Amino acid sequence: MSPKKDVPPCLLNLDKPPGPTSRTVVDRVVRVTGCRKVGHAGTLDPLATGVLVVCVGRATRLVPFVQQLPKRYRAVFRFGLTSPTDDVDGPVAELPEAPVIDESRLRAVLPAFVGRIEQVPPVYSAVKIDGRRAYQKARSGRTVLLAPRTVTVYDLRLVRFHYPDFELEICCSGGTYVRALGRDIGKSLGTAAIMVSLTRTAIGPFRVEQAVRPEGLQPEAWQDHALPPAAAVPHLRRFEGDETVLRALRHGQAVPMDRLRPLPPPILDWAPPGWQPPEDVSAVFDDAGRLVALVRHQRWRFQPCLVLD
């Protein structure tokens, strides 16, 4: 399909199947929509399934704001196995004389992995080192040393245990590697663990139950599944402006705070306890409810930082 220039900015909540990469899913959206400007808001490995939020057209500028939203996963891990990828996609080896872990010991260590924690990303990850992805260096046989990162785990629940397998429900910040979480839980128990399956069940209010499979998108009807750009910022404070104010924002001009009318605060019933949205950015809408701009708070005025329309 030839590229189109008039594709309206929008989001798609997709349910990625196991097998394809996130890039493969994006490429399908490009073909179906005819829009070259398409991006996703958080990689899922080929092994993983579930929510992949894809932004189309000018909505790609909203990707960083979707990435601010908390993520929910269900993951199955297996004790007693190691892998350079920390999951079953890499060469898997048995840990010699691996101890048998019982459920009570596992439950006892889980609280240590809740809250702000330090996590070393997997060697086979998209983290950049000197301009190259870590997995590219690892595949070339080079030694890869990654610095720990601070991530936040808001909730961690054991939902099934049948040794050697255990299944967790996880709610965490962006940048958290679930397979590294399983790896570190195994280490804390004096054994090893790798991830055998992963489903992202939600990103903020984007839930897998409402997601569409990529193969369900068709050129003549894909917009039936399109969400407005405002769906990318369900967590930001909201204001409405008249046409004079909106014209100023569209031209990059700051406007006094009292020129914008506050709208009801967002409903954050999808947010975990302890999660806080950013307070320095707000969303501005027109009187029809369309997202026009995002603004930063600067003393007594709002300065546009992203103009969508």
What is the set of active-site residues?
A: 45
Whole-angstrom CA distances from 8 to 29, 56, 64, 121, 129 are: 14, 8, 19, 36, 36
Question: Are 308 and 292 contacting, i.e. CB atoms less than 8 angstroms apart?
Answer: yes
The token pair at 254 is 């700051």
Closest CA to 259 of 301, 298, 294, 230: 301
Burial class of residue 182 in the structure, from the number of CB atoms within 10 Å of its CB (0-12 exposed, 13-18 middle, 19+ buried): buried
The token pair at 43 is 């990689």
- Cα(10)–Cα(39) distance, integer angstroms: 11
Closest CA to 281 of 64, 17, 95: 64
Residue 299 gets the label, from left (phi > 0), alpha (psi -120 to 50) or beta, of left
Radius of gyration, alpha carbons of the chain: 22
Tell me, what amino acid is at 276?
Answer: Q
Question: Are 172 and 70 contacting, i.e. CB atoms less than 8 angstroms apart?
Answer: yes
Instruction: Encode 271-308: b = buried (16+ Cβ within 10 Å), e = exposed.
Output: beeebebeeebbbbbbeeeebbbbbeeeeebbebebbb
Instruction: Encode 247-265: b = buried (16+ Cβ within 10 Å), e = exposed.
Output: ebbeeeebbebeebeeeee
